[in-house]
Amino acid sequence: MKEVLLLITTESDEIRSKNIAKLLVQNKLAACVSIKPIFSIYEWEDKIEDAKEFEITIKSKPELKENLILFLQKVTSYDVPQIIYKNFQAESKYYDWLGKTI
């Protein structure tokens, strides 16, 4: 089966987001990382908060999930980082590229 892992997290700062993305690729934890600005509204410590954040979408192998989670927990600026993930079916050429990259 040609499954890839898609993991999404957030960061508060663009520079920090880019640094995390580069480290993920350099350390062979991700084949590709996308970053986009978002605006989030959430409850934190009994207050409704809003913040500009950066969504980090990580494309990787399913077997690297636990290593990715541990890495993100170490480098995040958040007390409770958003770390959500799911395996997806991938097109053959993309799957082959991802497999050769990491």
How far apart are the C-alpha atoms of 82 and 24, rounded to whole Å? 17
- The CATH number fitting domain 3-101, selected from 3.30.70.120, 3.40.630.30, 3.20.20.140, 3.40.50.300: 3.30.70.120
Q: What pLDDT does residue 98 have?
A: 96
d(CA 17, CA 84): 16
**pLDDT, tens digit, for every residue of 71-102?**
999 999 999 999 999 999 999 999 999 999 99
* pLDDT tens digits for range 9-64: 999 999 999 999 999 999 999 999 999 999 999 999 999 999 999 999 999 999 99
pTM of the model: 0.94
What are the residues facing 52 on neighbouring strands?
A: 39
Give the domain ranges of the chain. Answer: 3-101
Q: In this predicted structure, what is the pLDDT of residue 24?
A: 98
Task: Return the bridge partners of 50, or none.
Answer: 41
